[in-house]
Structure 1
Amino acid sequence: MTSYDLIVLGGGAGGLTAAAGASSLGAKVALIEKDEQPGGDCLHFGCVPSKALIKVANDIYKAGRLEEYGFSRSGHVKMDKINERIKHAISSIQEHDSIERFEKMGVDVYTGFGSFVSKNEIAIDQKVTIKGKRIVIATGSRPMVPQIEGLKESGFLTNKTIFNLTKFPSRLAVAGGGPIGVELAQAFARLGSDVTLIEREPRLYGKEDSDAAELAQSLLEKELNLRFNASVKKVEQHNTEKKITLEYKDGSAESIFADHILIATGRVPNSDNLFLEKAGVKTDNRGMIKVNGHMQTNIPTIYAVGDVNGALPFTHVASSEGQLVVQNAVLGLKRKMDYANMPWVIYTDPEVFHLGETEDELKSRQAIYHVYKTPLNEVDRFVADHHTDGFVKILTDRKGYILGAHAVGEGAGDFMQEVVFAKQQKLKIGSLSQVVHPYPNHAAAVQITSNSYWREKLFKGIVPKILKRYISIFR
């Protein structure tokens, strides 16, 4: 039986980061991936294909607005051309995640399904067994398919299958208003589909700051048919279309028709079939593997990173957890994961950026805080671009330390990065006003927001009186 310093189960973002990092430190590493090529859901079915689709959709949408300048367009979307572009993006990035690349790093890559035999033994397809001092579970998650009458019989799409469409849907129903649901719903709407988004809650962007959620939803309402407080009760196939029966929380019902229905109602962890009981690893009632701040399960030599641990379901979070595990599992350190400084972005247009606490969360814990907010119509570059829908909002404590930051705007995921750095480095909001931006620049929105902090300090309270007295003496 071959022994390793570290065995990694799963070749997604978290697993690949852990395997590469451990190998670079000289550890003997095994990587087990059930698919033919590593990369995980993000590369093959999630982040990469969805962002490639969003880019095409936004290009086409903006091309349509050229009519304002006397241009015209004609024709219809060709799904095969879109699929070609998506596949090209995947294949280009796949080179960085390929088996060959990891083997060159010194990682032993096994293709097959790994499961526990004991707390330090893993069987691959129940044929080959290997042994590891430490084991990292990075098996990710998959779409959660709810029990809906007629759904399986009528057929449905998930984020794993929607990119296989060969014919563009003229009507699309999307069940679920989370990040996957809203991103794909807007993309298909901009490509020309009549999209109905079905959400069981009373609003979209449920985890976002209320100001951001309200604005982003109001903009989406111009492009999508939104149904709130609603669930899909039944799906029936009628010739080439689906009849979808919705049930509302007030007891009323409605039927809508679509060519396809996309199920985006959440994710379930890929923890089943791992035979975790043989290793004694505990999960919660959803199947999420419980971990401590060091990413350790209840078995100290077994770690879990990424979607499977139920923390934050984002690729960059999985990668950060993978980096932490290398330090703890390979070097024996006791570093803890810090989610307080972990940002995320919902890639609708405009983008919705999130960092730290929301204003509602601060109110709920009765925190004393300050709000600094700048609408994008006060930022010259956004005015020049005619993209003024949005704002930057930074929340601080009394001393100016950043508690949360939120933004809605084109490219918000990019121009808000200096705020992430400031919060991670425990810098005050005032430090952001010292950053020099080339004019005109989108990130000036952050600078203008931070400038309001100094205006508050300089023109309120005792400081203005002291300055006035000083200037009179200086003269």
Structure 2
Amino acid sequence: MQEIQCDVAVIGAGTAGMTAYRAAKRAGSKTVLIESGPYGTMCARVGCMPSKLLIAAADAAHHARHTAPFGVHVDGPVRVDGAQVMARVRRERDRFVQFVVDDVQGFDEHDKLRGRARFLSDHVLQVDAHTRVTAGHIIVATGSEPVRPKELQALGARLISNEDVFDWQDLPQRVLVIGAGVIGLELGQALARLDVDVSIIARSQSLAGLSDPDVRQAARAIWSKELNLRADVTVLGGDIVDGKARVRLRVNGQEVLEDYDYVLAAAGRTPQLADLGLENTSAQWDEKGRPVYDRATLQLHGTPIYLAGDVNQRAPILHEAADDGRLAALQAVSAGAQPPLTRRAPMAVMFTDPQVAVVGTPFKALPQGAVVGSVNFANQGRARVMLRNQGLLHVYAGADGRFLGAEMVGPDAEHIGHLLAWSLQMELSLEQMLAMPFYHPVLQEGLRTALRQAQSALKGR
């Protein structure tokens, strides 16, 4: 049995873990990085990057099929070669993963441990059967894993998650997507545009993380034109019949049976905390069985342990995971003396077509006296020029004129969302935002329209 003493032990070599390791090392701490699975972040292997590769192929197919309104005619039908699509996805995915692997290979070999870590106490970890690590502070950065509906466990390999899609050798014929959040809608629309027969179901009316009812309604109306999108559907069970996944659903009060090649579970992710042995520590637990931690410092109450990245479910986004890793490391090496980081303005982007952006305070959390400014992209000049004229943007401001946040479905929401997040982080008012330059003709003129409307609402009081 090998014995290791260190200042900081990091469990998990994803985005948060790698960032924590680097930060602790820069601070001069003896640091150990422990990983049980393959190197390469979730973003590179099964998340952000491979999904965008699939979406890029889907966008190419969609644009090729919709040139006629411009007077541009492509002879013959568009043909999607699923094997070629997936070959490029895997090839480019592996390239992104290799960049991360190369980074890890550059770490000091004496700092890396391979194996599954388990807590024996607040300060002691057992790594497989070969190493015992005693650390002053421990950062848990084990990430999250997909939730697989227990009602469908009988489907076996036909029940998949996004983590399985990107290893396909070819595209299937028919897929059921469970969940109308980011993963379900991004992958569902992409597969549908690549000639896969897709049905997307959700157990409620929730859609794309939108809380503004008008924006959510606009999004549903747009996507329902091309997608089989069903709300308030209950999954009852499933079996394998003739090699297919037969799923039993309750739709509009009626029980139905539907057959698919695969069922894609995309209704959420859960922290990877099982088998870590946290019950052997001084960690406290809430009524839902989750470890209690300080959101400002990421420290588990009463312990030298920190939760960084997706495992804490605070904001499961790559840049937030990186910030978490740095914050946890700085707290650990300073024994809590380092003040917490100033957090970035919250934002989320969904890469559907049209895209979705949510920035700052969402509609459901607006304070009393807030106003809403709106723009419908149906008649926005640049959007009409590009035949991308659909969507709705709502911006929110406080009674003092300070910009609070926005929810949007529409063209180039990723870019408009960034402008809004930067404005929020700089604590700009509507007046200051409207004083910024708006070129003509650009989609951002639609943002100016919404800001003006919110300003008028304030002045009209």
Common topology (TM > 0.5): yes
Structure 1 position 303, deviation (Å)? 0.5
Counterpart of 2:214, as a letter, is: D
Aligned counterpart, 1:371: 372
1:283-322 C-alpha deviation (Å, 9 max, x unpaired): 4465543211211102342100122223233223222222
Segments of 5+ residues of structure 2 without an aligned counterpart are none
Q: What is the correspondence of 1:389-468 to structure 2 with a 5 Å cutoff?
A: 389-452=390-453
CA distance in 1, matches of 2:386, 2:162: 32
| Aligned residue identity for 2:19 | T
Superposition deviation, residue 437 in structure 1:
4.0
Query: Counterpart amino acid of 1:418?
Result: L
3-state SS of paired residue (1:126): coil
Moved more, 141-150 or 211-220: 141-150
Judge conservation of contact 1:175–1:181 (CA < 8 Å) in 2.
Answer: yes
Give the structure 1 partner of residue 48 of structure 2.
47
CA distance in 1, matches of 2:304, 2:411: 44
Aligned to 2:351: 347
The equivalent residue for 1:63 is 64
Aligned to 2:92: 89
Per-residue CA deviation, residues 432-469 of structure 1 (Å, 9 max, x unaligned), is: 22222443333333334334455567x758xxxxxxxx
What SS does structure 2 have at the residue aligned with 1:383? helix
Per-residue CA deviation, residues 23-78 of structure 1 (Å, 9 max, x unaligned), is: 23333222112223131x22211222111111111111111112442213446433
Alignment partners' CA distance in 2, 1:226 and 1:218: 10
Q: Is the 8 A contact 1:114 1:122 kept in 2?
A: yes
Amino acid in the other structure paired with 2:370 = Y
Which secondary structure does the structure 2 equivalent of 1:371 belong to? strand
Query: How far apart, in 2, do the equivalents of 1:158 and 1:205 lie?
Result: 18
Deviation at 1:397, TM superposition (A): 0.8
Structure 2 CA distance for partners of 1:252 and 1:303, relative to 1, 3 Å = same
Indicate the percent of aligned positions where both proteins have the same amino acid. Answer: 26
AA matched with 1:373: S
What one-letter code is carried by the residue in structure 1 that aligns with 2:260?
A: A
How is 1:166-315 mapped onto 2 (pairs within 5 angstroms)?
166-248=169-251, 251-284=253-286, 288-292=290-294, 293-315=296-318
Larger RCO, structure (CA 8 Å, separation 6 or more): 2
Change (3 A) 1:154 1:5: closer
SS in 2 for 1:222: coil
Query: What amino acid is the match of 1:353?
Result: A
Aligned residue among 33, 36, 58 for 1:34: 36
Distance 1:209 1:228, change over 3 A: same
Query: Structure 1 residues 7 and 442, CA, compared in 2 at 3 Å: closer, same or farther?
Result: farther
Describe the shift of the 1:234–1:35 C-alpha distance in structure 2 as closer, same or farther (beyond 3 A).
same
Q: 2 CA distance for matches of 1:103 and 1:282? A: 37
1:97 to 1:105, Cα distance in 2 relative to 1, 3 A: farther
Distance 1:23 1:73 in 2: 59
Q: 1:122 aligns with which of 98, 120, 125?
A: 125
Residues 1:258 and 1:36: Cα distance change in structure 2 (over 3 Å): closer
What is the DSSP-based 3-state SS (H/G/I as helix, E as strand, rest coil) of the residue aligned with 2:151?
A: coil
TM-score using structure 1 length: 0.88
The 3-state SS of whatever aligns with 1:307 is helix
**CA RMSD of superposed structures (Å):** 2.6
Q: Match for 2:154: what amino acid?
A: L
Moved more, 349-358 or 433-442: 433-442
CA contact (8 A) 1:321 1:337 kept: no
Describe the shift of the 1:92–1:21 C-alpha distance in structure 2 as closer, same or farther (beyond 3 A).
Answer: farther
Partner Cα separation in structure 2 for residue 109 and residue 283 of structure 1: 30
1:105–1:165 distance in 2 versus 1, CA, 3 Å: same
Residue 6 of structure 1 corresponds to: 8
**1:358 matched residue in structure 2:** 362
Q: TM-score, normalised to structure 2's length?
A: 0.90
| Bigger Cα displacement from structure 2, 100-109 vs 388-397 | 100-109
For the Cα contact (< 8 Å) 1:419–1:432, is it kept in 2?
Answer: no
| Cα 1:290–1:437 shift into 2, 3 Å | same
- Judged with a 3 Å threshold, the aligned counterparts in structure 2 of structure 1 residues 178 and 288 are, in CA distance, closer, same or farther, namely farther
Q: Distance in 1 between matches of 2:108 and 2:381?
A: 48
Q: Which moved more, 1:431-440 or 1:183-192?
A: 431-440
Letter paired with 2:145: R
Instruction: Give secondary structure in 2 for the equivalent of 1:148.
Output: helix
